[in-house]
């Protein structure tokens, strides 16, 4: 019979137990990462900018309400206004949960003022958008007004708000903790250890 003191320490351990606990920690880590990713909504990463050079004015950002109403659907927009063509090109896309919609390109006749460009989007059946690019303030404003009579038959526009005011802002949103309301013991332990 072999004495316990002569057997090396690595032969005395039950390695299947060690492997079990390592696998348990790995699975828990993977579960917590999946919870964080599932609760982190997609947001467009755009900076609100208005740049004018010569006959070209470019604006980009995300529409946000400035009249205190409910939040808008996440998305981004880029507006290119060309003075020589007297038109504005508006490219926009929306984000629905984890999915990004395909881009939508619209072209509108535009008018130039002293320090502003304006155009009207009358395409939607129930709404009219009046957009103003203020070159002096380097901001873009829009007003959505509900149409009294829809431009296409079969649309009920009564559920749409009568008026909404918006501006282009950065795509960032205030941080909402994706871990809130979930049991994440490893993440909680890491926050306690590293004090974050």
d(CA 183, CA 36): 11
Say if CB 93 and CB 106 are below 8 A apart.
no
d(CA 134, CA 140): 6
Domain boundaries, the chain: 1-40, 49-169
Q: Report helix angle 185-194 to 15-38, nearest 10.
A: 90
Q: What pLDDT does 176 receive? A: 63
Q: What pLDDT does 105 receive? A: 92
Q: What pLDDT does 175 receive? A: 56
d(CA 186, CA 177): 16
Q: What pLDDT does 173 receive? A: 55
End-to-end CA distance of the chain: 54
List per-residue pLDDT tens for the chain, 196 residues long.
556 667 776 677 777 888 888 999 899 888 888 887 777 665 555 677 889 888 999 999 888 888 887 778 778 899 999 999 999 999 998 877 667 788 899 999 999 998 899 999 998 888 999 999 999 889 999 999 998 888 777 778 888 889 999 998 886 555 566 677 777 888 788 778 887 6
């Amino acid at each position: 019979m072999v004495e316990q003191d002569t057997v090396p320490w690595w032969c005395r351990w039950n390695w299947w137990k060690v492997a079990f606990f390592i696998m348990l920690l790995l699975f828990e880590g993977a579960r917590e990462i999946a919870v964080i990713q599932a609760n982190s909504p997609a947001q467009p990463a755009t900076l609100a900018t208005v740049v004018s050079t010569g006959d070209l004015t470019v604006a980009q950002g995300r529409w946000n309400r400035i009249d205190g109403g409910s939040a808008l659907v996440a998305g981004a927009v880029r507006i290119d206004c060309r003075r020589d063509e007297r038109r504005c090109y508006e490219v926009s896309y929306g984000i629905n949960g984890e999915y990004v919609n395909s881009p939508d390109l619209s072209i509108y006749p535009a008018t130039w003022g002293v320090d502003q460009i304006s155009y009207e989007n009358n395409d939607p059946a129930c709404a009219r958008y009046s957009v103003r690019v203020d070159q002096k303030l380097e901001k873009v404003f829009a007003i959505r007004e509900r149409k009294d009579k829809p431009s296409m038959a079969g649309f009920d526009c009564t559920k749409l708000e009568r008026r909404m005011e918006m501006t282009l802002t950065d795509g960032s949103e205030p941080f909402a903790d994706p871990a809130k309301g979930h049991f994440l013991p490893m993440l909680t332990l890491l926050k306690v250890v590293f004090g974050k």
